[in-house]
Amino acid sequence: MVRREKSHEWLDKLGRESWHLELLISGFSIFLLIQGLDMAEQQFHLFFNRVQFLDFNLHKELNSYSWFLLMGAKGLLYSLVLHLFLRGLWIAAVGLRTFNRGTSIATQGYTPLFQRTLKQNTLPLDSYIIQLDKFCSNIFAFSYLILFVALCTGTYVLILKGSIILITWIVGGESSPIFQPIIAFWGILIILISSIYVLDFAFLSPFKRERGVDKIFYPFYKFLSWISLSFIYRTLYYTMMGNRISRRFLWFIIPFYFLIYLGNSLYFQTQPLIPKTSNTLSIIPGYYENLNHEPSIRLASTPSKYVSNGMLEVFIPITLNEKLTTQINRYCSPLETVHSTLISSAFALFKNDETTIEAADKVKPYLDCMSKLFNVSVDDQELDGLPFFYQHPSTTQYGLLYMIDIDSFPRGQHQVSVGNIYSKKTLTHDSIYYRPYALFPVWKL
C-alpha cells in the first residue's frame, strides 16, 4: 500500500511537471521529423524502385503501407507544431500572471454593457492558464494517438489485402471459376466488418454501450482489434474518452487525417498562359537527369539536354504493373521468370567473387520482348539497335538503356520521341502502332 501511494505521488508530481518534457520532446521531435520526412520518403521511393514482384499487387500493398507511415509522421509533425505553439502561449500567460495578478475587467473603466459582455466571454487569467494547460496536454497525447492509429490502420490494410493475395494463390489464380465469387464474398464481409468497427471508433464506442448489440459486436471487435494492433493505442483512446475535453480530440481524428490528405493532394495551377505538359516547345526538367531532383524517373530520361560526344543515351524505366503485364502477355511470346524473388543478406564471412555470365541466347528473348514495347526516334527517324538492360545508379530503377548514335545529325536542336506500343481494334482489322509516351529536345554540340 505504501509503495502504491508513493507511485501515485510520483505520477502526480510528474504530471504537474510534464510540461518540461512536453516542450523538450515536441521540439526535438519536430526537428527530427522535418529533417527525416524527406529522407524517409526518398528511401521509400528508392526501395520501391529497386524491388519489383511478379505479383504487382504485393508491390501496391507495400506502397500503400508506406503511405500510411508517412501520413502518420506528417500528422504527428503538424499536431506537435500546434502543441509547441500553444505551450508557448501557456508559458506567456504564466509569465504574465507573475506581475498582473490584481488586474480585472471591473477596474478597466468599461461601460456596464461591455463589462457584462467581457465577463461572459473572457476567462480569468488563472482559469485561462488551467484550460490552456489541459488543452496542451491533450494535444500532446492526441499527437501520438494519431501516429499509432495510422500505423495500425496501415497494418490492418496490409493484412487484409495480403489475404486477397493468399486467396488468389489458394484457388489457383484469377482465372479460376470460383475466384470471383470468393473474392466478392470476402470483400463484402470485410467492408461490412470494417465499417462497423470504424463507426464504433469514430463515434466513441456506441456498440459497446448497448446490451444485446455488444454480444453481436464482440466477435468483430476481437478480430479487428487483433489484426489492427489496436493494443498499442487502446489505453490512450479509452483514457481520453473518459474526459469531456479529451473526447473532443477523439472526434477530430478522422477529420484530421482527411485534412492532411486534402492538403497533400491540392496544388495550384500557376501561369495559365504557359503549358505544363510535354510538347515540342517546352523543356521539362524531369527528362534530364542533371536537372531532375525527384527520387524516380517517371517516363524517360537522358543525362543532359546537351549531347557533346555524338552518342545520345535514353533510359526508360520498366515498372511491373497491370498495364505492362497486359502488354507483355499480348505482344510477346510466353516468357518464364528469370529468377525467383529471394531475400538475402550482403553480410558474409567469405564472399565468392565469381561473376555469373548468362549466355546471350538466354537473355535475348527477354530483351526482344521489352524492346518491342517501346521505340525511340530522333526527329521522327526510327533508329535501329537493341537497348541494354540497365539499373539506374541514382534512382536504382531497372529499365532499358538506348545508346543512339547521332554523330551524323547536324549540330543544333533535335527532338527525341519515345513511343509505347498500342493496338486498336476495328471492324475490319487490328492495327498496332506506337502512341506518344515521352517527348523532349536535346542539343547536339
What DSSP assignment string belongs to 358-420? --HHHHHHHHHHHHHHEEEEETTEE-----EEEE-TTT--EEEEEEEE-TTSPSEEEEEEEEE
| Same-domain status, 49 and 150 | yes
| Boundaries of domain holding 173 | 14-265
| Same-domain status, 304 and 430 | yes
Q: Report how far residue 422's alpha carbon sits from residue 373's, in angstroms, rounded to the nearest whole number.
A: 9
> Cell numbers 519489383 correspond to what residue?
52
Work out the widest C-alpha separation in the chain, in whole angstroms.
97
Whether residue 50 lies inside any domain: the answer is yes
In this prediction the pTM is 0.72
Whether residue 325 lies inside any domain: the answer is yes
Q: Report how far residue 267's alpha carbon sits from residue 180's, in angstroms, rounded to the nearest whole number.
A: 38
Q: Is pLDDT of 349 > 50?
A: no
Q: Report how far residue 153's alpha carbon sits from residue 260's, in angstroms, rounded to the nearest whole number.
A: 16
Q: What is the pLDDT of residues 256-315, one digit of tens each?
A: 878 887 877 776 777 777 777 788 888 888 899 998 888 888 899 999 999 988 889 999
Half-sphere exposure of 275 (CA within 13 A, CB side): 8
Angle formed by the axes of helices 2-16 and 18-50, nearest 10° = 80
Whether residue 72 lies inside any domain: the answer is yes
Total domain count, the chain? 2
Specify the length of the chain in residues: 445
Which of 206, 236, 265 is the C-terminal boundary of a domain? 265
Q: Is pLDDT of 443 > 90?
A: yes
**What is the pLDDT averaged over residues 179-195?**
80
How would you classify the pairing of strands 430-444 and 306-307?
parallel
Q: Is pLDDT of 370 > 50?
A: yes
| Same-domain status, 131 and 232 | yes
Taking CA 84 as the corner, what is the angle to CA 82 and CA 85, rounded to the nearest 5 degrees?
Answer: 65
Q: Report how far residue 49's alpha carbon sits from residue 43's, in angstroms, rounded to the nearest whole number.
A: 10
